Amino acid sequence: MACDKKVFQHGSDLFLYFSHIPICEKVPSIQRCLSTRIPYIFGLFCASYSTVFMVIERTIATKSYKKYENRHKTLGCMLILGQIFMGGATTFAIFYKFDFQNAQEFCTGSQSSDPYFLIIPEAVAILSNVLAFFQFGRLMSINRKIRVGSSSNNLSQKYQIEENLNVVNILRAFTKCDFIFILIYFTMGIPFHLIGKHMDSAEYYALFEVIYFVPLYSLIMPAYIYRFSRKQRDERMTRMERKIQVSEDAYFQFIHNQWT
């Protein structure tokens, strides 16, 4: 959602720039700006809270691992709605002080009359992702301790413990990428909102495009996650092959123990 709208926006900007339309008519309309920027901001912040809500789900799964598999889909639906709500609330806050009357020469969602309506949502996103990142590490440690002391658990509970470890391990690649992106993206954006009003227009827009590197991130992150998931799959296959390669002596020893 975020990247599609940005590609459409910049594509139409290039069309206007290279067209033979009079200069005064090349300024994009406010309707086109809002139709591209609002979905972009909404998609960006929905994605930025992905790690937070995944950690909430895994924390609940870890705390109630003895009965978690019997839960219905209500929890997942509530978490999805919570993530959508956070994205919507953040988008509303960012555009609360937006100038809806005058068209901009370059459509952005960061030109609010009050920069703190931009800074506070970004600071909340940074803080929540920092807490979620460290909680993810704690979940790995907690589930390993539960597995060590799980001798009294039944098969279903042991499966849930192993599933928690596998899911947390697989999602670790995503959380690392997402955490680094959020930390750089929003941390660079906060001072930019404060000094942007005092910058020349050309410098402002040039720095704006340098900071908000979402298209580049959308290419790097899937490649990294694919490589990480492939590595995890190879490691699981190697462990499985080691377990099934049992020495023939083990079978004779097992029969001997059954007879004696």
Distances (CA, A) of 163 to 17, 128, 160, 171, 234: 53, 25, 5, 12, 17
Nearest to 107 by CA among 5, 177, 190, 228: 5
Q: Can you give the pLDDT at residue 95?
A: 84
Number of domains in the chain: 1
Backbone angles phi, psi at 22, to 5 degrees: -55, 145
pLDDT tens string, the chain, 260 residues long: the values are: 556 666 777 777 777 777 777 766 666 677 777 787 888 888 888 888 988 998 898 888 888 777 776 666 788 889 999 999 999 999 898 888 777 776 666 677 666 667 788 888 888 888 998 898 888 888 888 888 877 776 666 777 777 777 778 777 777 777 777 778 777 777 777 777 777 777 777 777 777 777 766 666 667 777 777 777 777 777 777 776 776 665 566 666 666 666 66
Q: Which residue carries 């931009």 as its tokens?
A: 118
Give the integer Cα–Cα distance in Å for 246 and 103.
Answer: 72
Q: Which residues span the domain enclosing 222? A: 2-259
Q: Can you give the pLDDT at residue 254?
A: 61
Q: Contact 45/90 with Cβ under 8 angstroms? A: yes
Q: Can you give the pLDDT at residue 152?
A: 67
Contact residues for 214 (Cβ-Cβ < 8 A; gap 6+):
2, 3, 6, 44, 185
Q: Can you give the pLDDT at residue 214?
A: 61
Which amino acid is it at 98?
Answer: F
Give the CATH number, domain containing residue 142. Answer: 1.20.1070
pTM of the model: 0.71
Q: Can you give the pLDDT at residue 28?
A: 67
Q: How many CA atoms lie within 13 A of 116 on its CB side?
A: 0
Q: Can you give the pLDDT at residue 83?
A: 93
Q: Can you give the pLDDT at residue 85?
A: 95
